Amino acid sequence: MPSGILPSFGLAAANDAAIDIRRQSLQSDIDIAEADKNHIDRDAKLKETCQGFEAIFINTLLQEMRKTVPDDGLLPTSNATRTWQQLFDNQLAETLASRQEMGVAKMLYQQLQGGVGEKK
């Protein structure tokens, strides 16, 4: 067997091994990036869901508060007025929830953040 074949074969094998190590390293980096992306996506969805819950909570509060205000009788309350008030309350609830001033979404997020992905 010629001596020139063995060194080149050994060099090719070492080259292939180095390429395999690089591939494994890149695949590991990709897997870590995907896990981080999934965590970020899950985190963003949880924040959005908590904010949506706060909006529903605020909307319920507004509706219940409106029930306590008596009709004064000066202007009759029509279906159009009730619909407008409901739309106004919905928008007000969304706006207040997006500002995160009440803190319901923040507390709910903190409570649920540790439990995401865990089975109890």
Domain range annotation of the chain: 5-113
State residue 87's pLDDT score. Answer: 93
State residue 101's pLDDT score. Answer: 80
Q: How far is CA 78 from CA 36, 59, 92, in A?
A: 53, 21, 21
Say whether pLDDT at 48 is over 80: yes
Say whether pLDDT at 103 is over 90: no
pTM of the full structure: 0.61
Unique residue bearing structure tokens 């909307």: 59
Percentage of residues in the chain having pLDDT higher than 90: 22
